[in-house]
Structure formats: C-alpha cells, structure tokens
Amino acid sequence: MERLLFFARRCLKALLVILCVIAINFALIRAAPGDPATILAGEAGAVDAGFVERIRKDYGLDQPLPVQFVAYLQQLATFNFGTSYRENRPVQEIIFEKLPATLLLTLSAFVFSVVVGVGLGMAAARRAGTWVDATITAASLVFFAMPLFWFGLLAIVLFSVKLGWLPSYGMSTVGADLKGWQAWLDVGHHLLLPAVTLGLFYVAVYTRVTRAAAIEVMDQDFVKTARAKGVPERRIWRHHILRNALLPVITFVSLQAGHILGGSVLVETVFAWPGIGRLAFDALFQRDYNLLLAVFFVSSVMVVLFNLVADLLYSIADPRIELQT
C-alpha cells in the first residue's frame, strides 16, 4: 500500500513537471527567430504578403500567443499534436513512424552502457591497484572525453570505409527485401555502430561510478563480517558489494535518460538513423512548430518515466530506503 501511494504521488509530480515543460518549450520555440509562414511561402516561390498572411491564418499563427497556447493544450488533451506545416499531415503519424527507431537505438545504447560499464567497474574494483584497474580507468577517461560525433565519424572511417565490416548509414539495407530473421539481423548490423557510439560515453561514466562505489562498499563492516563468517568471495561480490554499489548507478541511469535523447540527435544525424532526434533537427531548421513541440513532448515524457522507474528501483535495490515524497 505504501509503495502504491508513493507511486501515485510521483505520478502527480511527474504530471506537473510535464505541464511546466510544455509551457517552457512553447514559449522558447515561439521566441526563436523565424516564421513558418515565410519559409513555406518562400519554398512555394511566392513573396506576396497576402499569401503569407493566408498561410498564417490557415495554421492559426495569426492568433495571440496565449490563444495559441490554449489551443495547443486542448489538442494535447485529446492526444492531437496538430498538423505538420512542412509535410501537411498529422504530427502523430510522423512521430509514430520515427519513434520505434529512436527507442531501439536509445534502449540498445542504454543496455550496452549499463552492462559493460558496471561489468568493467566491478572488474576494476576487484583488481584495484593492478594493471587491469589502470587500463580500465585510462580507457574510461578517453571515452569520457571523446565527443560523440567525432567517435562516430572515426568509427565510420575505420569499420565502414577501411574494413567494410559494418554499414555507415541508415537502419536497413536499401533495396533489400528481407524477411524474418534476415531483416532483424540486417537491422542489428546497422544498429551496432550508432548504439556503441551513443553508449560509450555512459560506459565511461558507469565504469568510474561503479568502481568508486564498489571500493567504498568493500571497506564496510558488513562485508568484513561476511568474510569473517567464511562466505564465499563470489557470493560476497554478487550479493553484498554489487547490490550496494548499484545505488549511485541508478541515480546516473535516471539522469542518462535526458542526456541520451539529446545525444541521439547527433548520432542519428551522423549515421542517418531515421529517428525522432534527426526529425527534431530537421523540424528546427524548417520552423515546423507543431512537429518540434511534439518531439519535445514525447522526449519529456520519456525522461520523466525514466526518473519514475529509477525512484522505484531504489527501493528494490535497497529495502532500507524509505519511500518518501
């Protein structure tokens, strides 16, 4: 019952956060220079002021900002994101077309970074002071300092251009009519480079955080007591050290949600991955307000959900932590 009440309180707070994010995004986008009507008129080859005003009226851009914001909230209440100025079709259709690709990329990068980062961090802590620890620590520093787009370009040059092992762009082979497992393997083949590129920065973060937390836990009294009782070393590391060392990792996991979505914009652009990160990049330059707001809304919801799950994982990883507001 206590956990259910905690979940309900967190959901209410999450809803308030999303509403604040909606208002801030709407204000910032409208404050940015540029006008969708002018861009659309320019692409149509028309410079007539009357034509521009007609476009503004058709899309409701001639209304005051408070009126536009209320209309936007009414649309969101019915899960209607409006119409894309650029493609002239419902925004939700465009989002649902691109969202699976971004979820596949971000979740793959997330799993890769957590598994590899925690594994390397525990290996470094278990062999602290040895060449293994020094090598892992040095590698994590390199990956932490390396820009995502730079590593992505280097990976394309090495693994795609020089060696020819992996494709350099897209989500699937163009023109290949693959079915079943062949299609999945083809997607996985294209996914490997962008997922590793996006996840390497967080591998470095989780490695250092896990190593520091594990070394700190190793000196705790309950670990010494377990060793004194003759508990096998493998069990001590798995059930005592690892479980407690994961607590700070969970904190960074909740923060990673927002960062990894931001990083996906760069990675999707470098690898031409057809996700909402690349979609947001294009919508920004085209001043497609409705599409850009929808991308921000979906991203905000995903970040809030990640943080909510992280709060629940805290209580599961360590039952001593009380569920509070």
- The Cα 255–Cα 311 span in angstroms is 12
Please calculate the CA angle 20-25-31 and round it to the nearest 5 degrees: 130
At residue 90, what are phi and psi to the nearest 5 degrees?
-55, 135
Look at residue 90 and give its three-state secondary structure: strand
- Residue 258: predicted pLDDT: 62
Which ranges of 156-230 does DSSP label H, i.e. alpha helix? Answer: 180-218, 221-228
**Cβ atoms 274, 70 nearer than 8 A:** no
What is the DSSP code string of 136-176?
Answer: HHHHHHHHHHS-HHHHHHHHIIIIIIIS--S--SSSS-TT-
Domains of the chain (ranges; CATH) run: 2-77 (no CATH), 95-317 (1.10.3720.10)
pLDDT (tens, 9 = 90+) of the chain, 325 residues, equals 666 776 777 778 878 888 888 888 788 777 766 666 666 655 555 556 666 666 666 666 667 778 878 877 887 777 777 777 777 788 888 888 888 888 888 888 888 888 898 888 888 888 888 888 888 888 888 888 887 778 888 888 888 888 888 887 777 777 667 677 777 888 888 888 888 888 888 888 888 888 888 888 877 777 777 777 777 777 777 777 777 777 777 777 766 766 676 667 778 888 888 888 778 777 777 777 778 888 888 878 877 777 777 667 666 655 555 555 4
Dist. CA 48–CA 54, nearest whole Å? 10
| pLDDT reported for residue 259 | 67
Rg, C-alpha atoms of the chain: 24
Q: For position 325, what pLDDT does the model report?
A: 47
Tokens of 296: 């921000």
Which pTM was predicted?
0.74
Q: Can you tell me the distance from the alpha carbon of 128 to that of 123, in angstroms, rounded to the nearest whole number? A: 8
Output the pLDDT for position 314.
Answer: 64
Residue pair 195/264 in contact by the 8 Å Cβ criterion: no
- Do 256 and 110 form a contact (C-beta atoms < 8 A)? yes
